Amino acid sequence: MAIIVSARNLAKRYGDLEVVRGLNFDVVGGECFGFLGPNGAGKTTTIRMIQCLSEPSGGLLEVFGMDVRKYPRKIKARIGVAPQDDLLDVDLKVRENLTIYARYFGIPDIEANRRADESLEFLQLKEKSGEKVDKLSGGMRRRLLIARAMINQPQLLIFDEPTTGLDPQARHLIWAKVRDFKERGVTIILTTHYMEEASQLCDRIAIMDRGVFIAEGRPADLVQEYVGQEVVEIRTNHIDTNAIVERLHGCDYITETYADTMYIFFREGCGVMPKLVEMGLSNYIHRLATLEDVFLKLTGRELKE
Amino acid sequence: MSLGFLTIWRRNYVVWLTYWRSSLVGNLLDPLFMLLGMGLGLGESIKEIGGMSYIQFISPGIIASAGMYAATFECTFSTYTRMAPQKTFESILMTPMTLTDIVGGEILWGATKGMESAAAILLVMVALPMRLTPSWWGLMVIPVSLLIGLMFASMAMVYTSYAPAYDFFSYYFTLALTPQFLLSGIFFPIEGMPRWVQWVSEFMPLKHAVNLTRSLVMGHIRPQLMLDMAWVVGIAALAYFVAARRMRRRIVH
């Protein structure tokens, strides 16, 4: 498999502030790679370096085998980006947003028009072609950003928080489109705050915190490795948590308490559930462990801002 | 050299196609009122300047100053809008377009707006029955106003590269443009002013622009125009390089 993005000791400093501190990773052709992490973890900075919008302060970063410092224009020509901020051109109408953007890539008019129509069709925006951008809903704007990102037929698509602030319908439609791109063999890099989104779309994820990777791997593997299979959440308001800990003595589990909830992570068949049932607890939730548990466990439950 | 600046110019042109009709009225009526009001009103008291009627004297200067204001407005307020709140440049920079393409395209567009204003005024002058366009050389005002526009657009772009907010631009209009508007020999001949005023006036970009437009409109072609032309082209080139450098420092990090 071709290596699309390769980072070695990648670093970014703004003055004394180290935002990215020595990342090593490869993104392989055709996969969807997710960057997860709390705000300020360095995800967007890393993505901006891949886009050649920000120069690395240290280390090596290659995209399509080319150094980002030396070949920014060649790299940009092959990347499509749906940015986090709504960066549509509000002076232009919906379809013009695509045709004009195509020209920035040097795509001739006839081809630009053809691709614009194709993208509008694909993102279900055809009937909005002549509208002004500010007449669109949030979900439509996000779809238009994606339509614009595909106009140069990129081999690498970057989605920076593609569904933040969208309703569930809009979110599911965007997920379906991202999977479509993957089917076509496009390599995808994604950042998100939504663990469900990462589980749904990403083949591999990296969890970032304070500028470094604190975990990397397939979503299911990370869940297994860090939090086991199952979780019980117990509201602690009227319960003596020490009694629970005593009762579970001898079982293989991890526990964590945050705010009004105690989390007990364990593997199936380790005897936790029968003991809890014996205790006659009523106010608890028993569920499968998710990536969100991994994320919170690794990055800490305290607020980041 | 990259021709990417033409692509950026074209983006602005496509946007202009949606509003040019509504701005045309202002482009034609503003100079018309100015010419008739100042030219005929003041012209009652001032009979003649250097063999020209007063309205003949001021109209070429109005072409030059309107070009200055149009190009400056475009490369201050409008460029700033695209750069800062709308983040248009940011999304353009995700493509193979470079910042030099953007700065070049914006300046050429600002100059185009300057030329548009100049052409509109020239049209008004042709239509008025006061022999305001006695010479065919007057047609040369259109391409020359593109150069004048390049000069003022580049200068404005340098200023915009420092701008933290819209308020910042009012200083430029008041401190940089208004003195030029008054001391470039548009409404009264600088030759009659004290020495130091004449000296200051020589360093005003608009003064050279007015020399050019007035000579062309009246058909007074003389070698000194080459010097005025050199000023315009020189300032345009210098300001362009400073602007491109400054903008790169501001936006790419």
Interface pTM (ipTM) of the complex?
0.90
Name which of A54, A89, A96 is nearest B253 (Cβ-Cβ): A54
Say whether residue B2 is in contact with chain A using an 8 A CB cutoff: no
- A104/B97 touch (CB, cutoff 8 Å), yes or no: yes
Name which of A83, A92, A152 is nearest B14 (Cβ-Cβ): A92
Cα–Cα distance for residue pair B82/B89, rounded to 1 Å: 7
Q: What's the token pair of residue A84?
A: 């986090």
Q: Render pLDDT for A27-39 as a digit per residue (tens, 0 to 9).
A: 999 999 999 988 8
Mean pLDDT for A187-212 is 92
For the A3-222 domain, the top CATH level (class) is: alpha beta
The CA distance from A157 to the nearest CA of chain B, in Å, is 12
Sequence ranges of the domains in chain A: 3-222, 229-288
How much of chain B, in percent, has pLDDT values that exceed 90?
Answer: 81
Taking the model in full, what pTM does it have?
Answer: 0.89
Q: What is the pLDDT of residue B2?
A: 81
Cα–Cα distance for residue pair A254/A230, rounded to 1 Å: 11
Cα–Cα distance for residue pair B217/B61, rounded to 1 Å: 10
Q: What is the pLDDT of residue B1?
A: 61
Query: Is residue B195's pLDDT more than 90?
Result: yes
Q: What is the pLDDT of residue A304?
A: 53
Phi and psi at A54, nearest 5°, equal -140, 130
Under 8 Å CB-to-CB from A66, ≥6 apart: which residues?
Answer: A74, A75
- What is A229-288's CATH number, 3.30.365.10, 3.30.70.260, 2.70.98.90, 3.90.1200.10? 3.30.70.260
Q: Render pLDDT for B116-154 as a digit per residue (tens, 0 to 9).
A: 999 999 999 999 988 899 999 999 999 999 999 999 999
Q: What is the pLDDT of residue A266?
A: 85
Write out the residues of chain A at the interface with chain B, using a CB-CB cutoff of 8 A.
14, 51, 53-54, 73-74, 76-77, 79, 81, 83, 85, 87-92, 96, 100-101, 103-106, 152
Q: What is the pLDDT of residue A241?
A: 80
Name which of A100, A105, A152 is nearest B11 (Cβ-Cβ): A100
Cβ atoms of A68 and A75 closer than 8 Å: yes
Phi and psi at B69, nearest 5°, equal -65, -40
